[in-house]
Amino acid sequence: MAEQNDKQFNIYPLKLWIISIGIVAPIILGLFTTINNFSNLGKNNSIGVIFIFILFGLLFSIPTFLVSIILFKILFEKSISTIVIKVLINLIGISGVIITFRIMEFNDYGNTYALIYSFSIIVSSFFVSIKHRNKF
């Protein structure tokens, strides 16, 4: 029973990853491109472009996601405060976004996209909670 509860608590990185890349970032990208009528997204009024961003966002973020899982497991086992865990996981995620866009040498809008994805991590972390097993 305790093992099942541990698995329930250890899904924070997965929830954050899916919500930030699969939901929040596409919404922010859509709003940003609509407001600024910018980049290939603004020129191509196709929802398919957003799905491509979701797919490649999930694929390219797998290494950062794995690092986040390892860090979360270590911090969670040490009963570190949830605020500290969230800040550290966010910093790892943001660093991963910046590194990924630098490695890919994305077009002129790479910095903007990196900022949007970084902001989506921060926003998403407000919607996902961490529950420690000793706080029942």
> Over the stretch 9-52, which tens digit does the pLDDT of each residue have?
568 889 999 999 988 988 888 787 777 765 555 455 556 777 88
Assess whether pLDDT exceeds 50 at residue 102: yes
Range 79-112 burial, b when 16+ CB lie within 10 A, else e: eeebeebbebbbebbbebbbebbeeeeeeebeeb
**Whole-number Cα distances in Å, 71 to 85, 124, 128:** 9, 18, 17
- Indicate the number of domains in the chain: 1
Q: Is 35 domain-assigned?
A: yes
Greatest mean pLDDT among 52-61, 75-84, 112-121: 112-121
Full residue range of the structural domain in which residue 122 is found: 2-127
| Cβ-based neighbour number of residue 45 at 10 Å | 9
Q: Is 98 domain-assigned?
A: yes
- Say how far apart CA 129 and CA 12 lie, in whole Å: 7
Q: Is 16 domain-assigned?
A: yes
**Whole-number Cα distances in Å, 38 to 34, 42, 44, 120:** 8, 5, 10, 19
Q: Is 50 domain-assigned?
A: yes
Is pTM, for the whole model, over 0.85? Answer: no
Q: Is 133 domain-assigned?
A: no
Q: Is 135 domain-assigned?
A: no
